[in-house]
Amino acid sequence: MSEAQVIDVAEVFRLLGEPNRLRIVLACLDEAHTVGDICETLGLSQSLTSHHLRLLRTARIMRAARQGRQVAYTIDDDHVRDVLRNMIAHFVEPHEHTYDPAIEEAGS
């Protein structure tokens, strides 16, 4: 990857690191939702939700599509959807994780 691409990917992860933005993206993972739907589901204000959606659209994480008189938001493409689903699977699958202080000290 080029340095510019690495910076772009890091920016996407930074955007998704904000909990409300991640909740918005996850809410739209399987189907499109309007701003009103997202606000109601997540308990966010319309202005805050719109702000987050604008950032997510700019980063090509989300896209907007007109549905009659409303605009619905969904994941931009299957690449983004697949990354999110894989991360979810990673954290919900059972696994053994033991803390080993020797590994922590070796990494320091």
pLDDT in tens, the chain (108 residues): 999 999 999 999 999 999 999 999 999 999 999 999 999 999 999 999 999 999 999 999 999 999 889 999 999 999 999 999 999 998 888 777 666 666 666 665
- Domains of the chain by start residue, with CATH: 3-94 (1.10.10.10)
The pTM is what?
A: 0.81
> Are the beta carbons of 12 and 61 closer than 8 angstroms?
yes
Exposed / middle / buried, residue 68 (Cβ in 10 Å: 0-12, 13-18, 19+): exposed
